[in-house]
């Protein structure tokens, strides 16, 4: 292994610190979320405690993904402050090991966790999140509760001054462009002596298996059209103009957080080929690839503030400064992602620049303190 004995010892200290911190985080999250499930879902139906625990466990990977950066921060502080208080860092320095060398195990752990979070934890969290929504909705429906889901039982409306179309769909796909189980009711404005009135009258009803928005038109497949005084007509396809914005539908029906890492590249390419704005999803994809760098920056921030010799004092102030700095980096990343999603910044810059800035800033501070 490329780590020597001292580095392996430090790595074990970091891992034990992380396990302790994440155990506290996970237990706390589970307890709070189980109570929340009993309060929300259990408030509408009779929810057994074991089912509430199952619902919370389905949300757990996503919650761990959100709290892991702070777990790394606290674990690094715990590990290196423990080494410092027990004077082990002084002995390690005296043996000729530089700060760059005894921080290497922390970097290895952070990069490994970043890759694991990106390639395993994120896809697992996205899949279990869908299963959570399905199970939750199933429980509510079985209890006679009407659910309000953005992807089921969809209602839309389009029109101008002369006609209005109300659209209902049983479900919509993740792009917000393909609707299943579609019903359309069209009404036209009533004219009297060539003058428009405030009344509308029924024009036609369309029942279709599927409808999708392509190039400013509803492309409707396998439909039945009903008009007043006419027998129903079955048609294989029909096109109806629409003023609905595909980007608006995409943003309404799809959240980047519900799409796993391995699915995101195809989804981004698919939305681009459809001529839709993929900024939010590209920011999410690049943000996931930046996770190892972000975790490394958080770990270094936590370790650097604990390298000062404990007998010199001021450690508490440095720890507080490091904690505030790490939290600031987290919120800057969120703000930068919002700018990228809105198109104000290129997605790759919005996703990578805060993580790289935090990493280079921590390396600069380390070089200044250790190498002068």
pLDDT digits (tens, 9 = 90+) for 323-370: 888 888 888 988 998 898 888 889 999 999 999 999 999 999 888 877
pLDDT at 151 over 60: no
CB count in 10 Å sphere of residue 242: 20
What confidence tier does 296 reach under pLDDT thresholds 50, 70, 90? very high
Task: Tell whether the model's pLDDT for residue 250 goes beyond 90.
Answer: no
Q: How far is CA 223 from CA 2, 60, 183, 216, 244, in A?
A: 66, 43, 9, 19, 21
- pLDDT for 194 equals 74
Q: Tell me the pLDDT tens digit for each residue of 301-335.
A: 988 888 765 555 556 776 787 788 888 888 898 89
The Cα 244–Cα 167 span in angstroms is: 11
Q: Which residues neighbour 298 within 8 Å (Cβ) at sequence distance 6 or greater?
A: 69, 70, 72, 73, 76, 110, 326, 329, 358
Dist. CA 309–CA 53, nearest whole Å: 45
pLDDT winner (highest mean) among 42-51, 121-130, 262-271, 286-295? 286-295
Q: Confidence band (pLDDT; 50, 70, 90) for 107?
A: very high
160 by DSSP, 3-state: which? coil
Q: Are 61 and 125 in contact (CB under 8 A)?
A: yes
Whose CA is closest to 114, among 294, 353, 285? 294
Place of tokens 């503030």: 305
What is the share, in percent, of the chain residues with pLDDT greater than 70?
90
What is the per-residue pLDDT for 11?
A: 92
Q: Residue 150: pLDDT above 60?
A: no
What is the bridge-based pairing of β-strands 233-241 and 195-214?
unpaired
Note the pLDDT of residue 49. Answer: 84
In the chain, where does DSSP find H-type helix?
5-44, 49-85, 88-94, 99-102, 104-116, 122-142, 246-253, 264-273, 279-289, 291-304, 315-341, 347-371
User: For residue 215, what is the DSSP state?
Assistant: T
For the ranges 37-41, 93-97, 279-283, the maximum mean pLDDT occurs at 279-283
What does the alpha-carbon distance between residue 80 and residue 168 come to, in Å, rounded to a whole number?
59
Give the count of alpha carbons within 13 A of 6, CB side only. Answer: 18
pTM flag (> 0.95):
no
């Amino acid at each position: 292994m490329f780590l020597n004995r001292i580095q392996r010892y430090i790595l074990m200290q970091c891992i034990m610190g992380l396990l302790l911190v994440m155990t506290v985080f996970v237990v706390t999250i589970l307890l709070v979320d189980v109570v929340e499930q009993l309060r929300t879902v259990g408030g509408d139906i009779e929810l057994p405690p074991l089912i509430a625990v199952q619902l919370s466990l389905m949300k757990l990977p996503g919650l761990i993904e959100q709290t892991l950066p702070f777990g790394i921060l606290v674990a690094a502080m715990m590990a290196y402050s423990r080494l410092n208080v027990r004077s082990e860092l002084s002995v390690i320095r005296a043996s000729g090991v530089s700060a760059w060398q005894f921080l290497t195990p922390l970097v290895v752990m952070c990069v490994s966790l970043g890759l694991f979070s990106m390639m395993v934890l994120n896809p697992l969290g996205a899949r279990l999140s869908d299963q959570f929504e399905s199970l939750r909705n199933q429980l509510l429906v079985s209890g006679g509760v009407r659910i309000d889901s953005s992807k089921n039982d969809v209602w839309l409306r389009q029109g101008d001054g002369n006609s209005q179309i109300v659209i209902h769909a049983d479900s919509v796909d993740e792009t917000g462009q393909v609707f299943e189980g579609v019903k359309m009711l069209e009404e036209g404005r009533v004219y009297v002596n060539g003058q428009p009135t405030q009344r509308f009258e029924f024009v036609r009803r369309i029942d279709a298996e599927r409808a999708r928005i392509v190039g400013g038109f509803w492309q409707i497949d396998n439909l039945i059209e009903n008009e007043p005084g006419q027998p129903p007509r079955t048609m294989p396809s029909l096109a109806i103009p629409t003023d609905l914005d595909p980007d608006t539908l995409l943003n309404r029906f799809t959240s980047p957080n519900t799409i796993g890492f391995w699915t995101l590249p195809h989804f981004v390419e698919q939305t681009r080929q459809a001529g839709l704005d993929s900024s939010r999803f590209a920011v999410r994809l690049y943000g996931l690839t930046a996770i190892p760098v972000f975790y490394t920056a958080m770990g270094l921030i936590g370790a650097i503030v604990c390298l000062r010799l404990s007998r010199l004092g001021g450690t508490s102030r440095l720890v507080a400064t490091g904690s505030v700095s790490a939290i600031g980096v987290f919120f800057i990343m969120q703000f930068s992602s919002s700018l990228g999603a809105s198109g104000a910044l290129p997605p790759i810059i919005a996703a990578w620049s805060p993580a790289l800035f935090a990493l280079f800033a921590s390396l600069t501070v380390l070089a200044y303190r250790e190498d002068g």
